[in-house]
Amino acid sequence: MTTDPIPTCPAPELFDRLAASRATAEERGAVLDHAAGCDACHAALTVLLATLPTAPRERS
Ligand SMILES: [Zn+2]
């Protein structure tokens, strides 16, 4: 049993918000966590981030 915060694929509108950099850090983290274990979302997220003029990045 996993502890995936999003057992099902996130809503397309959430990806839209990520693309517009309007998602909260919590939402972005949840999507990234889900995408880490979901090939479909991982691929979608990769394409999404690649098309962003300024891809959101984690600050260190
Ligand atoms: Zn998914």
pTM of the model: 0.67
CB distance 5 to 33 below 8 Å: yes
Please count the residues of the chain. Answer: 60
Dihedral-angle region of residue 15 (phi above 0 means left; psi in -120 to 50 means alpha; beta otherwise)? alpha
Q: For residue range 1-57, what is the model confidence (pLDDT) as tens digits? A: 555 555 789 998 998 898 888 999 999 899 999 999 999 999 998 888 787 666 556
- Ligand 1 centroid distance, CA of 16 (Å): 15
Amino acid at 34: H
| CA separation for the pair 4, 19 (Å, rounded) | 22
- Ligand 1 centroid distance, CA of 41 (Å): 4
